[in-house]
Amino acid sequence: MYRFAAKLASKSRVTRSRTQQVGSRLNWSRNYAAKDIKFGVEARGLMLQGIEQLADAVKVTMGPKGRNVVIEQSWGAPKVTKDGVTVAKNIEFKDRIKNVGASLVKQVANATNDVAGDGTTCATVLTRAIFSEGCKSVAAGVNAMDLRRGITMAVDAVVTNLKSRARMISTSEEIAQVGTISSNGEREIGELIAKAMEKVGKEGVITIQDGKTLYNELEVVEGMKLDRGYISPYFITNDKNQKCELDDPLILIHEKKISSINAIVKVLELALKRQRPLLIVSEDVESEALATLILNKLRAGIKVCAIKAPGFGENRKANLQDLAALTGGQVITEELGLNIENVELDMLGKCKKVTISKDDTVVLDGAGEKKAIEERCEQIRSAIELSTSDYDKEKLQERLAKLSGGVAVLKVGGASEVEVGEKKDRVTDALNATKAAVEEGIVPGGGVALLYASKELETLQTANFDQKIGVQIIQNALKTPVHTIASNAGVEGSVVVGKLLEQDNPDLGYDAAKGEYVDMIKSGIIDPLKVIRTALVDAASVSSLLTTTEAVIVELPKDEKASPAMPGGVHPINPQPQKKNLIARTITGLLGNIYSGQVPIARPLGFRPPKDDVAVPNANGAIPTVNSYGVPLGTGLAGTSFSGGNKNDKTVTTLLGPDGTNDY
């Protein structure tokens, strides 16, 4: 009995000790991240500091006389820009709570940029104005939730007022005016965008690329452009420009690969009987089939060309169906029970001309019915509305453009890479603003649309005094854009705001470029409604959330402990050898396996290697490569080589192994 009890007690002790050991191991493996918490006025004050500093950097770019911002980059030359969202993205603070505020303003700028493509500076300035006033009001004892309700009511009233005053645009001149304003007054950019939209239509795709000249250029590709060229250069018909040109061709659209002769005999006979060129679009054409096509082209003189179908997977199927709708043909696919060997004439597509280069194919004037093309366009529009992926939306928009209009390419020129980059930012903003203006209409520019909308808030009814304070905050914030534009032009902003509010013409504004009061619509100073509306809504949303914030939690910075010393040791007075080895390791990691996995690093003159690791020329003057133990010479590292073969050359080169270490 006693033995049994002792055994149980022993097991219990062992179990307890094991439990403690396991527990201690768990504790050792835990890595807690310490947090810092700030409350109330202190938290909002620190966030406000971050927002104000970011807004000060962004607002200098606002208006026709806005200044540039130079941004240091981790690689390459500094970036010069007047784009608000680019400036905001490049600002980070050491203080984490200030950084929280700045990050939320970046979110406002990004959201505005994603929806409207412009107005990021306006959104940032409005966010700063609303949150600054909100902080003061909450600190004075105003109920934060009622304040937020008042802000929301005021924003809704302003948006309704702006929509009622918006004017739709349609003429090329109005489009050019919007582009000019958004590109900071560069008329040439506005006119290029207007020409591009005139060529490709409202739903056409306009892309922006770096140009190769000093001047801005516009290139328009009409018809459907496929991003695939001829499979073989033997299909070329025009040796001068290295292109294959087919007039009034028949077009075979096939989903699978074509590899056998039998598969293409029927379609070749159809083309030969009608004396018409043939274009084959399929996943691939290979082996016997490709050889047969080339042979018929060279020997029989049949005009024929084969290209691979653009895209991959489901996207490839969709592209082929688009081509079929445009040319009035059918996609030959087994899913529909169609076989390429039994293809008929009415299954083939037709068009006026096809031009095929090494990289792309352009199909002009497809013979498809307008009704079928419009139905296909409507399907794509529905898919765009349902899509949640930006990538998918972009691809769908490209397909829609190819079917409905075409593709225009704006090539931005300049004397240097920095100039092209700065101009490209402005062209992108101008293009996005122009699209927004076409979509929702325009309002008087220069910030006056928001300024005059503030008058409507004077009669807005609220449930209590705290909500009225929220309305007044928006009323004051709406004056900020005009104030900032005037200040950047060197004029007293409050004087300009006061003069404009004294009169009753809703189109009168301050032209900062000329320094005079003008009719903004007649002068072509206009803003897209979508840009102004999005900037205000996004700014008010984030600002009201920040105003109701009562606590902020951030991680404390971790103390970086000094790394342990490297084995082997280094003399504390002269650490040069260790420093040199670290440089060698860094270069090894960057360059990888060079010289069969070893990277040479030259030792400085005067460095003394350890004993029995020095290369000494023998009696014949030759330099040995290993020591008496057969180990490669090189100060105890992986190997040694000499830059010269004579005994007068004293420069030693150290080689490290492919793993970046010097352990032999």
- Mean pLDDT computed over 193-205: 80
Asked if 326 and 194 sit in the same domain, the reply is no
| Number of Cβ within a 10 Å radius of residue 193 | 29
Residue 496, classified by CB atoms within 10 Å of its CB into exposed (0-12), middle (13-18) or buried (19+), is buried
The pLDDT assigned to 624 comes to 58
The pLDDT assigned to 616 comes to 52
Q: Does residue 150 have a pLDDT over 80?
A: yes
Q: Compute the distance between CA of residue 614 and CA of residue 89 in angstroms, rounded to an integer.
A: 55
Q: Which of 57-71, 313-327, 383-397, 534-548 has the lowest mean pLDDT?
A: 383-397
CATH number of the domain where residue 183 is located:
3.30.260.10
Read off the pLDDT band of 238 (50, 70, 90).
Answer: confident
Whether 663 is in a domain gets the answer: no
Q: How far is CA 74 from the centre of its chain?
A: 18
Asked if 544 and 636 sit in the same domain, the reply is no
| Average of per-residue pLDDT values in the chain | 80
Whether 26 is in a domain gets the answer: no
Q: What confidence tens digit (pLDDT) does each residue in 408-446 have?
A: 888 999 888 888 888 888 888 888 888 888 888 999 999
DSSP letter string, 458-492: GG---SSHHHHHHHHHHHHHTTHHHHHHHHHTTS-
Tokens of 380: 């794509």
Range of the structural domain that residue 409 is part of: 172-223+405-440
Whether 95 is in a domain gets the answer: yes
Structure-model confidence comparison of residues 318 and 25, the more confident one = 318
Q: Does residue 249 have a pLDDT over 90?
A: yes
Report the percent of the chain where pLDDT is more than 70: 78
The pLDDT assigned to 627 comes to 53
Whether 606 is in a domain gets the answer: yes
The pLDDT assigned to 112 comes to 84
Read off the pLDDT band of 336 (50, 70, 90).
Answer: confident
- Mean pLDDT computed over 337-360: 89
Whether 394 is in a domain gets the answer: no
Asked if 137 and 47 sit in the same domain, the reply is yes
Asked if 242 and 331 sit in the same domain, the reply is yes
Could you give the maximum distance between any two Cα atoms of the chain, in Å?
A: 111
- Mean pLDDT computed over 360-386: 88
- Mean pLDDT computed over 445-474: 93
Whether 400 is in a domain gets the answer: no
Asked if 182 and 233 sit in the same domain, the reply is no
The pLDDT assigned to 32 comes to 60
CATH number of the domain where residue 543 is located:
1.10.560.10
Asked if 54 and 100 sit in the same domain, the reply is yes
Is-contact 249 306, C-beta < 8 A?
Answer: no
Q: Compute the distance between CA of residue 455 and CA of residue 471 in angstroms, rounded to an integer.
A: 11
The pLDDT assigned to 33 comes to 72
Q: Compute the distance between CA of residue 333 and CA of residue 312 in angstroms, rounded to an integer.
A: 16
The pLDDT assigned to 337 comes to 84
Q: What confidence tens digit (pLDDT) does each residue in 559-599 have?
A: 665 555 555 544 444 444 444 444 444 334 443 443 334 43
Structure-model confidence comparison of residues 353 and 287, the more confident one = 353
Q: Does residue 659 have a pLDDT over 80?
A: no
Asked if 603 and 645 sit in the same domain, the reply is yes
Which among 64, 81, 62, 69 has a CA at the least distance from the CA of 423? 81
Asked if 187 and 70 sit in the same domain, the reply is no
Q: Does residue 118 have a pLDDT over 80?
A: no
Instruction: Read off φ and ψ for residue 358, nearest 5 degrees.
Output: -65, -30
The pLDDT assigned to 467 comes to 95
Whether 315 is in a domain gets the answer: yes
The pLDDT assigned to 603 comes to 42
Asked if 266 and 324 sit in the same domain, the reply is yes
The pLDDT assigned to 618 comes to 57
Asked if 234 and 342 sit in the same domain, the reply is yes
Q: Which CA distances in Å does 286 have to 41, 257, 264, 306?
A: 73, 8, 12, 10
Give the residue from 392, 420, 440 where a domain finishes.
440
The pLDDT assigned to 156 comes to 95
Q: Does residue 154 have a pLDDT over 90?
A: yes
Q: Does residue 141 have a pLDDT over 80?
A: yes
The pLDDT assigned to 198 comes to 85
Tokens of 159: 């948006």
CATH number of the domain where residue 361 is located:
3.50.7.10
Structure-model confidence comparison of residues 1 and 435, the more confident one = 435
The pLDDT assigned to 8 comes to 42
The pLDDT assigned to 483 comes to 95
Asked if 488 and 595 sit in the same domain, the reply is no
If DSSP states are collapsed to H, E and C, what string results for 271-288? Answer: HHHCCCCEEEEECEECHH
Sign of CA pseudo-dihedral 498, 502, 506, 511: negative
Read off the pLDDT band of 469 (50, 70, 90).
Answer: very high
Q: Does residue 505 have a pLDDT over 60?
A: yes
The pLDDT assigned to 619 comes to 57
Q: What confidence tens digit (pLDDT) does each residue in 39-56 have?
A: 989 999 999 999 999 999
Q: Does residue 371 have a pLDDT over 50?
A: yes
| Number of Cβ within a 10 Å radius of residue 67 | 11
Asked if 464 and 416 sit in the same domain, the reply is no
Whether 391 is in a domain gets the answer: no
Is-contact 91 54, C-beta < 8 A?
Answer: yes
Q: How far is CA 68 from the centre of its chain?
A: 21
Read off the pLDDT band of 405 (50, 70, 90).
Answer: low
The pLDDT assigned to 100 comes to 93
- Mean pLDDT computed over 528-542: 92
Q: Does residue 27 have a pLDDT over 60?
A: no
**Count of domains for the chain:** 4
